[in-house]
Chain A
Amino acid sequence: MNEFLQIQLLGIFSLGMNLGWALVMIPLLPLLGFLLLGLFGKKFLKQSAGIFATLLLAASAFLSLHTAYGYFFKYGKSEGIYQKIVPIQFTWLQFSPGVSIDLGILLDPISVMMLVVVTFISLMVHVYSLAYMKGEERFPTYYSFLGLFTFSMLGLVMSSNIFQLYIFWELVGVSSFLLIGYYYDRPSAVAACKKAFIITRFADLGFLIGILILSFYGGTLDFNTLIEKLTSTDSTEFKTIVSASFMGISALTWALVLVFIGGAGKSALFPLHVWLPDAMEGPTPVSALIHAATMVVAGVFLVARLFPVFSMSEVALMVVSIIGIISALFAALIACTQTDIKRVLAYSTMSQIGFMMFSLGVSGQGGESGLGFTAAMFHLFTHALFKALLFLGAGSVIHFIHSNEMKDMGGLRKHLPITHITFLIACLAISGVPPFAGFFSKEEILLAAYHHNATIYWIALATSGLTSFYMFRLYFSIFWNKEHIAHGEAHGEGGFVMMLPLIVLSVGAAAAGFIPFGEYVSADGKALESVFHLQFSIAPVALGLAGIFTAMWMYKKQNNRPDTIAHSMNSFYKLAYHKFYVDELYLFVTKKILFNLIGKPAAWFDKNVVNGLVNGTGNFTLFISEKAKGFQSGKVQQYAIYFLAGMIGLAVLFIYIWK
């Protein structure tokens, strides 16, 4: 009955127990860090907590690299196809026969890739934070939360069961909440963490209902079985889910769109993106880890995980690509106008995730048409590297200048040489300048879009130009522009510990593009030949360079060109500056509609109507008894009359009526 300890070693057993236990340890080591630091960190570890956590994570990162090596080069491939391996699985909660939450580990190219990304970036952030967060009062707490996050994220990417994914999905949400609210005494941080949690929670509602629909029709929650059942067009499950329809749309599409809503919330896609810029209230390394490299791409990962099912519904893929492209363009436009450097990066993240999403949306299931899938995963990979680098660089700047605002910065290249160089590399990478990492992945995305949908391609192209513009606007504003800086004292760059992650990541951002990604990650597991079309790359690269030069022209030296241009596009600039008023819309919906139109009436109704009814019953009883006690007048003769009348009445009743 209880299968907790009966660990089922499914799939290819040849992975061996060794690798199995190593796999389990990958998420458990950060969890151990969380528990130990959370329970005893304050008392026993104090400032050495960071080193402790970092060591644990380093072990975890090593194990995941080991796993990746083992998977990609030794065991993973069978007959030229990368297999989906479930080495460990046990039943956690059985709902009904077939439908159960199983906790397990699913290894396939994307999960292994994510394992590496998560542990690697997390390790970088751990190292970086050793210096960045030094001296914080709640230093051990910070590291314990990082551990919790890393654990949850690893659990998420290794999930073998859609409900397991949901579980860890919620856990990453809460660790993000805890980390955004790390500076709990700042009201803005508190507001931001609540906002982040509630909006993603709202999206999770969609995810949950999507899961319910899928589980109902699929009869299982297991990824492999589910995908198998819902992708073979002649299975009964597939037939019922396609034929069942609600409002003219098939249950399959509904389920996938709902699941996608969950992904969109976590990945901050339009219109559920409003929490991401505010989430920058958290410590900067946290933003690098959670809100740039790992957690926010969970939505992309989710769609990729269910991609075989998504590919069965054109409408769902259409929704994915439309939302993706809108987010990409929308965020890029806003990013051009923001002055808080972390917010610029946040919008840039949103824009890049939009790229990944529409790339998935335009992809097909196998072979050449699966380019979008590979491209999205590739971009996810490279983006994690250069966006983490950007954030950590921004953190280094903020650490130096104690401000997030562009206007307080300028000419920092002399004070922060290493940061400057690494930041530049990251900017070039994200702008798609060859031969940096972003170039390769973005090329593939654009190519996939070009083959599939011209409109999306053109918008994507324009967005990619905008990307390089706003990134270099940022770069020039920080490191060039005005030469004097408001913050006079120069206290160095923050030492080797902070610089090490920057350097490591910049190497990655520069070189990761040369990985033959298609060989390892593709929609159907077969190696995908990445073809390089030189003539195709001309347009994006030219546009990217144009963006860079425009930014240079406007921001390299202090001048009034930005203001003039902003002035000439007055209304549009304002619109973008105010983030297209989406926040205000949300505020309106929550404050006016949710609170005032539903919450308040509900509370009023309860206080007055329901409670009034109860009190009314009580008062009515009192009223009746007040009247009834009039009978009890103490006047003997009155009693006697009642008595007599009653007797006569009864006599009449018994004699004449009831005989």
Chain B
Amino acid sequence: MMEPGLYHVLFISTALFFIGVFGFLTRRNLITMLMSIELVLNSVNINFIAFNKYVWPNQLDGLFFSIFVIAIAAAEAAVAIAIIINLYRSHQSIDVENAEDLKF
């Protein structure tokens, strides 16, 4: 096994990204879908950090980006959960299959 470097980290982030995507596509519960999105966001964060470290260590932009992503993810999670709870109140369910009023 070779020394882990940029490619290894990218492999992990890619894998995590598509795990998240897979989860988003298959889960029917809104909360679990939200969790999948968190995974996706995290994989992006990993990328930022990895590129910052292995390609452009002369600046800190990647780091800042991931900080902002984290902040926005927090906001997003909060809003999403508020929506989910509201949905639960009106539909007595948070199954995504039932929340399909937005059509045609």
Contacts and interface: CB of A to CB of B under 8 A. Distances in A.
> Do A and B have CB atoms closer than 8 angstroms in the complex?
yes
A640 B99 CA distance: 15
B100 to A, nearest CB: 3
Interface string B1-45: 000000000000000000001001110000000000000000000
Contacts of B97: 635
Contacts of B100: 633-635
B104 interface: yes
B101 A637 contact: no
Given A635-B96, A635-B97, A640 B103 contact: no
B25 A629 contact: no
Interface in A91-143: none
Contacts, number: 25
Contacts of B26: 637
A636 interface: yes
B96 A636 contact: yes
B55 interface: no
Contact of B25 (A632, A634, A641): A641
A637 B24 contact: yes
A403 B97 CA distance: 92
Contacts of A641: 25
Interface string B73-104: 00000000000000000000000110111111
B96 A629 contact: no
B21 A629 contact: no
A636 to B, nearest CB: 6
Given A637-B25, A644-B21, A632 B104 contact: yes
Nearest to A641: B25
Interface string A637-654: 100110010000000000
- Most B CB atoms within 10 A — which of A635, A636, A644? A636
A629 B104 contact: yes
A632 B21 CA distance: 21
A431 B23 CA distance: 115
A633 B103 CA distance: 5
Contacts of B96: 635-637
A640 B23 CA distance: 11
Interface residues of A, number: 10
B56 to A, nearest CB: 24
Contacts of B99: 634, 636
B97 to A, nearest CB: 7
Interface string A360-386: 000000000000000000000000000
B102 A640 contact: no
A641 B25 CA distance: 7
B58 to A, nearest CB: 29
B24 A640 contact: yes
Nearest to B27: A637
A641 B101 CA distance: 19
A635 B25 CA distance: 11
A644 B103 contact: no
Contacts of A644: 21, 25
B24 A634 contact: no
Nearest to A632: B103
B41 to A, nearest CB: 15
Contacts of A637: 24-26, 96
Nearest to A633: B103
Nearest to A631: B103
A634 B98 CA distance: 10
A634 B102 contact: yes
Contacts of A634: 99-104
Contacts of A633: 100, 103
Contacts of A632: 103-104
B95 to A, nearest CB: 11
A632 B102 CA distance: 8
Contacts of A629: 104
B84 to A, nearest CB: 13
A636 B100 CA distance: 8
A640 B25 contact: yes
Contacts of B103: 632-634
Interface string A472-503: 00000000000000000000000000000000
A412 to B, nearest CB: 89
Nearest to B24: A640
Contacts of A635: 96-97, 100
Nearest to A635: B100
Interface string A222-252: 0000000000000000000000000000000
A644 B96 CA distance: 18
A33 B57 CA distance: 109
A629 B104 CA distance: 6
A641 B24 CA distance: 10
A632 B25 CA distance: 17
A633 B100 CA distance: 7
Interface in A601-642: 629, 632-637, 640-641
B2 to A, nearest CB: 27
A629 B25 CA distance: 21
8 contacts: A633-B100, A634-B99, A634-B103, A635-B96, A637-B26, A637-B96, A641-B25, A644-B21
Among all A-B residue pairs, the 7 with the closest Cβ atoms: A634-B103, A634-B100, A634-B102, A635-B100, A632-B103, A637-B25, A629-B104
Given A634-B101, A637-B24, A644-B25, 19 more contacts: A629-B104, A632-B103, A632-B104, A633-B100, A633-B103, A634-B99, A634-B100, A634-B102, A634-B103, A635-B96, A635-B97, A635-B100, A636-B96, A636-B99, A637-B25, A637-B96, A640-B24, A640-B25, A644-B21
